[in-house]
Amino acid sequence: MKHLQIAVGIIRNSQQEIFITQRAADSHMAGFWEFPGGKVEQGETAELALKRELSEEVGIVVQEAVLLNVLEHTFTDRIVTLSFYMVEAWDGEPFGREGQPIRWVRQSELVAEEFPPANAAIIALLTR
């Protein structure tokens, strides 16, 4: 079974809003909302992958990222290890560089059902 390492950025502004993007129609878990990020490539640390992915996906340069939690989730066809980073300092204004829908959501108003199941525990942590 495939095992993927994923770096995930929880981009939070000073109003306690979180930046989220919608998964592409042709992707695994299509249509769900997600915290931006992506696969850790060979020879990369999770933090380096986070910085690269957030630059590629949402056009920001991460200044500071703090590891919040690491969660593992097993799907029928793959295992994913998710490293969640809180990102509160960056350069640029995040946007959907790949044309993906985006939105800012109050941290307290995140809805776990709108995200892939692997995100449930982190959303519970963020909204408690």
Which residues belong to the annotated binding site for 8-oxo-dGTP?
23, 28, 34-37, 119
Interacting residues of 84 by C-beta distance below 8 A, sequence separation 6+:
8, 10, 35, 67, 68, 69, 70, 71, 122
Annotated binding residues for Mg(2+), as ranges?
Answer: 37, 57
Q: Which residues are annotated as a binding site?
A: 23, 28, 34-37, 57, 119
- How far is the C-alpha of 55 from the C-alpha of 125, rounded, in Å? 26
Is residue 80 a contact partner of residue 8, using CB atoms and an 8 Å limit? Answer: no
Q: Mapping DSSP to helix (H, G, I), strand (E, B) and coil, where does residue 37 land?
A: strand
Q: Helix or strand or coil: residue 87?
A: strand
